[in-house]
Amino acid sequence: MATQRYSVTPHPIETLLAWVKSGEIAIPEIQRPFVWDSTKVRNFIDSLYQGYPVGYLIAWRNPNVKLKDGTTSAGKRILIDGQQRVTALMAAVLGHEVLAKDYETVRIRIAFHPVEERFEVHNPAIAKDRAWIADISRLFVPDAYLGDFVDDYITRNPEADRKQVGRRLLSQPSD
């Protein structure tokens, strides 16, 4: 009888983001570059917001794997499956630049309209429209205080419902 060599452990997105910020998640050298376009990143963020299933990540602890940055993986979780999703989170939520398929460094900005509960790829029209939060990564900076974002949004959009905006910025979509 064979022994089990792996386990499935659910972790919330906040844990995954903490691992990314701390460098605990690492991408092995063998993984391809980031190939998602900005629209696919937007769709992924919307799926997370809506609570839709977005698949599993598979990580492996092996101290001898060579990473993309040339170091070895000692003590890190090596991402075997889920690189595109984790990289999309790093780009949209944490504001990291990513190395695209053409080896160009890009910054992907995803905007959120809290009244309409809609995500879009940042563009010049959104940047000028006060109803949009032009870059959701601003909501996730270490010292961000949600109350400040709600106050700022209501100042720019006095017709919006303060409680509704607050709930939506806490990622609680309407039913």
Structural tokens at position 157: 């959009």
Structural tokens at position 173: 């979509």
Q: Alpha-carbon distance 50 to 58, whole Å? A: 22
Q: Which of 19-28, 75-84, 112-121 has the highest mean pLDDT?
A: 112-121
pLDDT at 113: 97
Q: Which residues of 80-95 are buried (b: 16+ CB within 10 A; e: fewer)?
A: bebbbbbbbbbbbbeb
Residue type, 91: A
132-145 mean pLDDT: 92
Q: Alpha-carbon distance 112 to 139, whole Å? A: 11
Q: How far is CA 108 from the centre of its chain?
A: 10
Residue type, 168: R
Does the pLDDT value for residue 15 go beyond 60?
A: yes
pLDDT digits (tens, 9 = 90+) for 149-159: 999 999 999 99
pLDDT at 1: 57
Q: Residue for token digits 């690189």?
A: 83
Q: Alpha-carbon distance 73 to 65, whole Å? A: 5
pLDDT digits (tens, 9 = 90+) for 104-135: 899 999 999 999 999 999 999 999 999 999 99
Which pTM does this prediction carry? 0.86
